Structure 1
Amino acid sequence: MTSPSRSHGLICGDLEPGSRNLITDVSGVSVGHHTVIEGNLRTGFTAVWPHQGNLFREKLPAAVEVINGFGKSAGLMQVEELGTLESPILLTNTFGVGTGVNALVRRELAENPEIDRSAGTVNTLVMECNDGYLSDINALALSEDDAFSALKTASDNFGQGSVGAGTGTSCFGFKGGIGSASRVFDLDGSAYTLGALVQSNFGRAGDLVLPDGRRPSPEAARQTEERGSVIIVLAMDVPLESRQLKRVAKRAAAGLARLGAYYGNGSGDVALAFSTAQRLAHFQESDFVALDVLKEDRIDVLFKAATETTQEAVLNSMIASPAMTGRSGNHRPSLADWLAANR
Structure 2
Amino acid sequence: MKRLGLIVGLVLALAGAAGLYLGASLLGGATVKDETPFVIPAGASVSAVADKLEDEGLITSTDGFVLRARIFGSSDPIQAGEFLLTPGMSQGQILAAFQAGDVIRRFVTIPEGMPSILVYEKLMAEELLTGEIDVPPEGSILPDTYAFERNQSRASLIEQMQAAMDTYLAEAWAERQPDIAVETMRDALILASVVEKETGKPSERRMVAGLYSNRVKTGMLLQADPTIIYPITKGKPLGRRIRQSEIAAVNGYNTYTRVGLPEGPITNPGRESIAAVLNPERTSALFMVADGTGGHWFADTLEQHNANVERWYAIRRERGEME
Return the TM-score normalized by structure 1: 0.22
Higher helix share goes to which structure?
Answer: 2
More strand by share: 1
TM-score (norm 2): 0.23
Rg (Cα) greater in structure: 2
